[in-house]
Amino acid sequence: MSGQKELDACKQAAAVKAAEYVHDDMILGLGTGSTAKHLITALGERVRQGLRIRGVPTSEETAELARQFGIPLNETEGAWDLDLAIDGADQVDPRLNLIKGGGGALLKEKIVAAAARRVIIMVDYTKRVPILGHPFPLPVEVVRFGWGNVAKQIETMGIKPVLRERAGRTFVTELQHYILDLHVDKIADPVDLDARLRQIPGVVETGLFVGHTSLLIVGTPQGVEVVNR
């Protein structure tokens, strides 16, 4: 099995396992990204077999895929009482702290995670790291007004921020913000860094997810590993 096919198989295995935690009448937060696509596929099959659930999507991409698989969705502009949120991550450390936001949906994902009673994170084995940071940048969502000043304040912390671009254009989130990707060698104290960044006027949210994860599901070539907090 080639490397990419192996990783995709690991993601799928983690997603299928995560779907086992979903039961009738649950309201779910549905994550965004490649592993979340496998989750929605698995849930869609169960919905066809009679599973009764409703979802809150964290992106338009997730919403469209959920509709294709017949998963009913709640309105996103209300208040929800979520039984469970299931999502992927870009990095996860031994304390189950995360970096998320590689796909640009970090603000919606954090709002959903904060609203859920439990949060299941599903990853392939390459996303587990001894310490968060390099080589994956830390995304920080910022308002467009004065984003350069926000970047300058971040630079005073000894961190290099890079304005995210896609196809030669500045990347704009679904909520119409910019993303600064912060290149940090080692994030020794995610709680402290998250707090300091969010104190900067213009920072909307960071891609550090600290204390949210209830259960980690890891797809590996040898099988699926489940890690409880």
Q: Which residues lie below 8 Å from residue 199, measured CB to CB, with a gap of 6+?
A: none
Q: Which residues are catalytic?
A: 109
How far CA 199 is from CA of 154, 193, 206, in Å, comes to 11, 10, 11
Pair 162, 180: CB distance under 8 Å: yes
How far CA 115 is from CA of 119, 163, 173, 204, in Å, comes to 9, 29, 21, 17
Pair 204, 197: CB distance under 8 Å: no
Pair 98, 209: CB distance under 8 Å: yes
